[in-house]
Amino acid sequence: MSTPQTDDIARGNHVVPTEWAQQLERERDEAVEKIKEWKTLCLWGGTPEHIHGFITGQQTRIWHLESERDEAREEGRRLKAILDLIKKEAQ
């Protein structure tokens, strides 16, 4: 699967592997779908217990995604530093 966001990353800074960017995009899209489900649950009168359980699960998912995002950024920084070093040594 290729999206404009993934393509920009792949063509641009070469910091994050394309497969990783695609996975993060899929997870983002899944989170958006879960939010839509939650809104539907609220609109149709879900019980407080259902809504609380749903929110708690989504908070855990968000924390997990934020952690993965932070790891991806750090890995990107390391890869960029290695690439910069290789370029410098090649000159």
pLDDT per residue as tens digits for the range 25-46: 888 888 888 888 777 777 767 6
State the chain's maximal CA–CA distance in angstroms. Answer: 66
For residue 9, count CB atoms less than 10 angstroms from its CB and return exposed for 0-12, middle for 13-18, buried for 19 or more: buried
**The pair of three-digit structure tokens given for residue 62, joined into one six-digit string:** 């968000």
Q: Higher-confidence residue: 15 or 33? A: 33
pLDDT at 17: 75
What is the domain partition of the chain in residue ranges?
A: 48-91
Contacts of 51 (CB under 8 A, 6+ apart): 38, 41, 42
Q: What is the mean pLDDT of residues 62-85?
A: 86
Give the predicted TM-score (pTM) of the model.
Answer: 0.41
